[in-house]
Structures are given as structure tokens and as C-alpha cells.
Structure 1
Amino acid sequence: MLRATYTRYILKFKQPAGTSRGILTEKETWFVKVWYSEQPEIYGLGECALFRGLSADDTPNYEKKLAYICQNINTLMLYELKGLSSILFGLDTAIADLNNGGKRIIYSTPFTEGQTDIEINGLIWMGDKDTMRQRIIEKLDAGFHCVKLKIGAIDFEEELDLLRYIRKQFSKEVVELRVDANGAFTPQEAPRKLEELSRYDIHSIEQPIRQGQWEEMAILCRNTPIPIALDEELIGIEVSDKSKLLDMIRPQYIVIKPSLLGSFSGSWEWIARSQERNIGWWITSALESNIGLNAIAQWTAYLQTFLPTGMPQGLGTGQLYTNNIPSPLEQTGSTIRYNPQVNWDLSQISF
């Protein structure tokens, strides 16, 4: 008989992580464990990567729902997981892990055998101007060819100055620049700010205005000098509305975050619809621990075997925490790889 249990875990940031929504010093997450009662020593592990204030399933009774699902794992109906993206992501990962022998292999590919790696972008969190400048230098020195800056929290002119600083040293052929506004601009100011940003050969801007303003976002996407990528806009959208959203807004890109978009199946629905409409996409983690990041990286590697994007992915969040789960994931320069010679250390997790 299949069994399941869960535990809460608080991830601690090495440095405060600034976004336009505020500063993060810790991140709550939940681990779920599944096993067969006949073989309890073999178990699958997943991460229900709840993102407070952003996940569609961020509700006061979240733990109660998770407990119910674990208690009723054998009789659970699919409709009972509707709208519970982070829980579905955790269960999908744990069950795939169990089915593959409980070795944290979610998708077996050359990536999990250590034969291939994944190109990633370097993420620059918000901070004061000098701190951000130092972080930019560190990423460029590490060999990143794609750098993503969080913008929208400090003075806009200072943010432009940081972009100017990068472009003085590196052309767009050498360093790809992405920015993420997390919805910080108003629809009224967005056209002017996009125009100013376009002077610095920006690859794309994620979510320039707050989600839920489809008409305003559609106008921006039609007239923007910089390609726009939808991010928060995709969270919590019903299956029946996914095509409607893409047809109305017509973004240049979408950002795929499995723990926020209905796990791998929900994420694939977005990718498939985007492919049909010639909309570009890349995959990004959403502050998961290495348990969740491992699953997303393996899924990304699996997709790239038959649907390569040729773009850096947003999977560089594994080094953010002081108490992350030690894993075979290794970030070397601008790539992430899985080293099968390294063992998982799960001693920090107790159920």
C-alpha cells in the first residue's frame, strides 16, 4: 500500500533577496515523502514548493490540505488536486522518484548520467546600486553569457546606469541582458520605461506590469521595443483560458515555472500552446530547494532532448540558501550539471 507524509522546512537566504514585492530573508517550503508499506526503505521525495503571496494555492489551510492528501494518497481523485499546483508538483516528483527506485532520478537522461549540462542565466537580485554592481561583476567574472536583473525597487535612473555599465564593457553578442520587473510598472509609465530600457539591447523584460491587466498587456506587447515575457500572468489560469490569454496578449515569450503552473503537465500545456503560436519560452525555478530544483532541471534536460530552445534557462537558484539540501547538482560558471558521483545528503530533513 502506498503511504505518504510531509514536513515543513524553512530555507534561509545567504543574503537578503530583493524584488519589487519586498525583501526575502527566508522561504517556507514543504517536503513530501511517498513509499510502499512493503518496502519502506525505498521512498520518493518531492517538494511542495509553496511561494507565499504568489502561488495560486497559497491559502490559510494549506497544511490541512496537504495532510488530507497524504492521508488519502491511495484513494485520491485527480480533481482533488485541482488548483493545488505546488502540492501536485511535490507529488509528481515524489512518485516519479519512487517509480525510479528512490534515487532522486525524476527523468533519466544523459543529464542525470553527468554527460550533458544546462546553460543558465546569472540572476542579480535587487539591492542598492553599489551592491548590484558588485553582483554583476561577480556574475560576469564567473563566465555568464546571460545576466538577468531584478528591477523596479530602486530608482529607475540608477537601474539604467547599471545597464549602461554592463553595455559599456560587453556588447549584446557577448552578454545577453534580461530584466524582470515583477509587475513594478504602471500601464501608463510602462511604454516610456520600455523605450528607455531598449537603448541597452535588452533581450526581454518579464512582467512589466502587474498581472491581470490583459488588455493593457496586449497593447504593450503589440508596441513594445523590447520583447515581453509573461511570468506571474500565467499563475492560476484555468486550462480553458490558457489559449485565450495567449491569443489576446500575444507575448513574445512566456516563463515556465512548474511549481507555480500546475507541475509538469500544466507547464507542458503552456509550452504546447506557445509552440503552436510561435511564442518563445524558457524554464525557471521559483526559489525551490535542491529537491525541487533537481526535478525542474531534470525535466528541462528531458525536454531539451526533443525540443531545444537554444536559450539559457533560469535554474541558477541552488546557491541562494545557507541550509539547502546537499545534492549532486553542481553549478559551474554559467551551467548546471548533475554529478552522479555525488550522493544526496538528506540528514537535514526529518519527517
Structure 2
Amino acid sequence: MTDKETYFIRISDERRPGIYGIGECALFRGLSADDTPDYEDMLAQVCADISRQGLTAFVPSDSSSIRFGAESALADLRNGGRRLLWPGRWTRGEIAIPINGLIWMGSHDRMLARIDEKIEAGFRCIKLKIGGIRFDEELNLINHIRERYAPEELELRLDANGSFTPSDALCNLRALAPYGIHSIEQPIKAGQTEAMAEICRKSPIPVALDEELIGCRDTKSKIALLDSIKPQYIILKPSLCGGFAASEEWAALACERGIGWWATSALESDIGLNAIAQWCGSMNTKIPQGLGTGRLYVNNIASPLRQIGDGLRYDPEGVWELPEMEWK
């Protein structure tokens, strides 16, 4: 990827001139369930509905990224339009949200260099994307990590992005098990419910569902998915799995079943990342979250978000610098 298309929604109240809430409708082309040709029409309709109904407007649940953006903008406006959606200890700068260091796919040498950089920066939880190079090379890389850092020193999460097949998944997972892996996300492609359930039942490594959650909208479907697959973890990406209200429902249903969860950003700008981080802060999460800082972007929005070591912080003295945009 060299660029990412996104949309912003701004909501104001004529009774409070100069105050507005802003949210990011973080459409992820090729991955979002709402990646459809009429996306802008849906967004325009939601804006019209909010204008007509006010702060209690209903945002359609079948449009995940639009719901994510609208919920963010409405929460921002309700709290005075200061980009404080869920004010609390995190937004006051009192605590940091622990995050994992993400290692992108690449050559063996490049991935190894990136791992060393993350560890030197203070990370004690690393998420390694696998499936981009030969599996034996990846095993060699993981072995190298474990020769230097024991599991109690460094938590290692893997994300296969569906790169295993149902026939080779368990064999690969058994090969990975001796290295003290915390969990592996989406070992096979989403939509293979029976195969995934078998993998979760037999895997020596805890399995986390990620893409499997995308497009699963109603409560009945969520319950059916969790009860049939029985994963050890689920990964919540609010912009992809229904917004914040839907993510809270996912989290509650998971907790009822003894399933763990953490949240992950999905290449949002700092507008969207700020919303996810504040939501995480309000949920009192303890384990490392998958919250990137958007440093991939050369034109990200300047914000009070600060990455210090392996923690994401909010600087109360920091300033938002929102670009001038032509609003439709």
C-alpha cells in the first residue's frame, strides 16, 4: 500500500456555534464488509439522518466504518468538541495504554532488524506477521528471537492473516508451539467455520479470531460464531466489526464465554486511532493492545497522541492540528 482512502464526518449543533465533533469513517478497501460502490451515498444518507434527527440519530449497523465515524463524532460533540470522546485517566495523561510492537512482513533480515529495533525501543510484546516468507525461514526467525529472549521476557504474538490451509494449519502450529507463542491470529482464511473450530479445539497455541468477525452484525450471528468456533481470543477492530457499540457487545459476549480480547487499529489516521485508544482506556484493558501511531503516513493529522516506549499516551497539553477540508 502506498496510500489509504478515508472519510471524515463532522457534526455541529447550531445552538453551540464553533463547536463540532469529528470522526473518521475508516473504510478499508478490500477488507471492510461495507466496501461497496454506493459507499459515499450511504455516508451522505447517514449525514442527512443525523441532521434531521439530531444527537439521537440511528446509525445503520450494516455500515461498520460509517457507524464507527458517526459514533466518534457524536461522542466528541457531546463532550464539547475537544476530541475527548471518553475522557478519563488516559486523556488526563495519568496512564499509558500498553501496546504491542508490530513487525510487518518482509525478508528474513529486514524482519529481524525490525524486531531488534522494537526491543531496543522498550517493547515487551511483539506481534509478528507471518506467511510472507517460507515457513522454515519464519521458524528460524522465531527460534532466533527465543534464543535471545525467553517467553517471560518477551511476549510473542503471531498473525497468520489466513496464510495456512486447513490441511497444514495444525502441523504448523505444532511446529511453532515449542517457542512459547502467546497466540496466533486467524491461522486460516475466514469463513471456514468447521475447520477453524477444529483448529481451536486441537491447537497447542491459543487462537484469536480477527477477519472472522468482519461482517458478522447481529447478536444471534455473533453468539453462533463464538459458540461454534470457541476461540481463545477475539481481536476487535471497531472500524471493521461494527463500531464501538458493536465492539462492546462482542467483548461482553466473549467474556461470558471465557474468551479473551484486545483491540487493534486498522490503519486509521490519528482521528480514528484517538477514538479507539480512548475507548480502550474506558474499558480498563490491561493486556497490550494493537494500537499503531500512524507513523506510516507522511501526512497524518498532528495530535496529542504520543508513543513512549511500549505505551501509547495522551498529552493533555498537546494540540490538534486539523487540516482545512472541503466538506460535502
Fold match by TM threshold 0.5: yes
1:196 aligned residue: 175
- Name the aligned partner's letter for residue 75 of structure 1: R
Alignment of 1:214-293 (within 5 A): 214-239=193-218, 240-293=220-273
Shift of the 348–174 alpha-carbon distance from structure 1 to 2, 3 Å rule, reads farther
Letter in 1 for 2:274: N
- 2:26 equivalent in structure 1: 49
Choose the corresponding residue for 1:34, options 5, 11, 19. 11
User: Separation in 2 of the partners of 1:348 and 1:80?
Assistant: 26
List gaps (5 residues or longer) in structure 1. 1-23
Shift in alpha-carbon separation, 1:75–1:151, aligned structure 2, 3 A? same
1:322 alignment counterpart: 298
- TM-score, normalised via structure 2 length: 0.96
Q: CA RMSD in A?
A: 1.4
What's the counterpart of residue 108 of structure 2? 129
> Identity over the aligned pairs, expressed in percent?
56
Q: Where do 5+ consecutive residues of structure 2 fail to align?
A: none
Could you tell me how far apart the structure 1 residues matched to 2:325 and 2:147 are? 46
Matched, 1:101 2:80: yes
Bigger mean CA offset, 35-44 vs 229-238: 35-44
**Letter paired with 2:10:** K
Distance 1:33 1:115 in 2: 29
Contact kept? 2:293, 2:307, Cα under 8 Å:
no
Aligned mates of 1:248, 1:220 — CA distance in 2:
12
Which residue of the partner structure matches residue 210 of structure 1?
Answer: 189
In 1, Cα distance between equivalents of 2:90 and 2:122 = 21
Q: Given that residues 46 and 291 in structure 1 are in contact (C-alpha distance below 8 angstroms), is that contact kept between their aligned partners in structure 2? A: yes
Cα distance, 1:345 vs structure 2: 0.6
Q: Deviations over 1:153-212 (max 9, x none)?
A: 211111111111111100000000001011111100101111111121110000000001
Whole-Å separation in 2 of the counterparts to 1:287 and 1:260:
11
User: 1:209 & 1:191 partners in 2: Cα distance?
Assistant: 10
Q: State the secondary structure of the residue aligned to 1:34.
A: strand
**1:301-351 deviation line (CA, Å, top 9, x unaligned):** 0010xxx4x311111243221111110000011000000101101126443
**Secondary structure class of the residue paired with 1:140:** helix
